[in-house]
């Protein structure tokens, strides 16, 4: 988990203000030197029984942890819900990128622009997949729970190295598969990490990533309220999230 440890090494300490583990999304609000930030992560679950072991042993007391203590839960292997909390905490503690480094836009448009006439592999079945099929040369979708037309995640070693454009969901940071996927990418491919779980950190560029398509929470209270009440990302986005793109220094898109 070197990537996660590299992210943990650069985040500042902060106070945990709120933790919300919603049906689809987890939100963590922290305060660092008087600035509050909100980070998001996909909520991962594991099968459980009502009388079984808790997935969140610290439930009710997570806000008593320091920001860095909460963020270290991202390393949790046996309790994926805690890993979701940890990644959300990392995203909350990371300082927002300087505005001059990012522009607004969504991942669908980025992939369509760079994937025209090319072989595109997407890890994670995003809602825009049906629209994207007619805009790129070839589209292959990998997912742990494949839908009709998708390939199972286990097919990654066979298809990712041949991709000209590879887009990987930030959720793979939560389930600890991102590093393995990045190692499969061809040095000649365009590598994009996308989704609200994605840290807006240039640390990702050290691992071969070319573009980050993530999000910035601009209205904390409406967003955490939506998350806590089971909102999907469309609803969370409408509540107060800005979609942003960051490009590796020196990257030339050719678009």
pLDDT value at position 100? 80
Give me the residue spans of the domains in the chain.
2-93, 99-247
For 45-54, 117-126, 130-139, 189-198, which range has the lowest pLDDT when averaged over its residues? 45-54
- Tell me: the pLDDT tens digits for 27-67? 999 999 999 999 999 999 876 656 667 889 999 999 999 99
- Measured CA to CA, the distance from residue 135 to residue 118 in angstroms comes to 10
Structure tokens at 139: 């589209």
241 near 216, Cβ under 8 Å?
Answer: yes
pLDDT value at position 49? 58
Task: Please state the rounded mean pLDDT for residues 64-90.
Answer: 97
Edge-first strand order for the sheet with 119-123 is 102-104, 241-247, 211-217, 190-194, 165-169, 119-123, 138-143, 151-152
pLDDT value at position 88? 98
For residue 70, pLDDT over 60 is answered with yes
Task: Please state the rounded mean pLDDT for residues 128-155.
Answer: 94
CATH architecture observed for domain 2-93: 2-Layer Sandwich (3.30)
For residue 251, pLDDT over 80 is answered with no
Q: Which residue has the higher pLDDT, 1 or 82?
A: 82
Q: Which residues 6+ apart lie within 8 Å of 109 measured at CB?
A: none
DSSP secondary structure of 3-29? HHHHHHHHPPP-EEEEEEE-SSEEEEE
pLDDT value at position 99? 77
Structure tokens at 13: 């300490």
- Measured CA to CA, the distance from residue 89 to residue 227 in angstroms comes to 15
pLDDT value at position 167? 98
pLDDT value at position 54? 84
Q: Which fold does the domain 99-247 belong to in CATH?
A: Rossmann fold (3.40.50)
Task: Please state the rounded mean pLDDT for residues 195-213.
Answer: 96
Mean pLDDT of the chain: 94
User: Which stretches within 107-159 are classed as H helix?
Assistant: 107-115, 129-132, 156-159
pLDDT value at position 161? 97
pLDDT value at position 102? 82
Q: Is 230 left (phi over 0), alpha (psi -120 to 50) or beta?
A: left
């Amino acid at each position: 988990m070197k990537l996660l440890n590299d992210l943990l090494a650069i985040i500042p300490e902060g106070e945990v203000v709120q933790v919300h583990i919603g049906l689809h999304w987890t939100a963590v609000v922290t305060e660092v030197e008087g600035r509050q930030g909100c980070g998001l992560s996909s909520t991962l679950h594991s099968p459980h029984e009502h009388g079984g072991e808790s997935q969140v042993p610290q439930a009710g007391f997570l806000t008593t942890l320091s920001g860095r203590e909460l963020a270290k839960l991202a390393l949790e292997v046996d309790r994926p819900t805690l890993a979701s909390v940890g990644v959300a905490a990392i995203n909350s503690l990371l300082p927002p990128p300087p505005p001059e480094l990012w522009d607004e836009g969504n991942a669908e448009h980025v992939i369509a622009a760079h994937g025209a006439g090319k072989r595109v592999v997407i890890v994670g079945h995003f809602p825009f997949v049906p629209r994207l099929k007619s805009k790129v040369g070839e589209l292959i979708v990998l997912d742990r729970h494949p839908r009709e037309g998708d390939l199972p995640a286990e097919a990654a070693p066979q298809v990712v190295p041949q991709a000209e454009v590879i887009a990987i969901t930030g959720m793979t940071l939560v389930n600890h598969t991102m590093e393995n996927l990045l190692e499969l990418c061809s040095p000649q491919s365009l590598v994009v990490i996308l989704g609200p779980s994605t840290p807006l950190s240039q640390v990702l560029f050290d691992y071969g990533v070319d573009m980050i398509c993530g999000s910035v929470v601009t209205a904390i209270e409406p967003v955490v309220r939506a998350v806590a009440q089971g909102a999907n990302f469309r609803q969370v986005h409408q509540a107060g999230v800005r979609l942003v793109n960051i490009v590796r220094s020196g990257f030339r898109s050719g678009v």
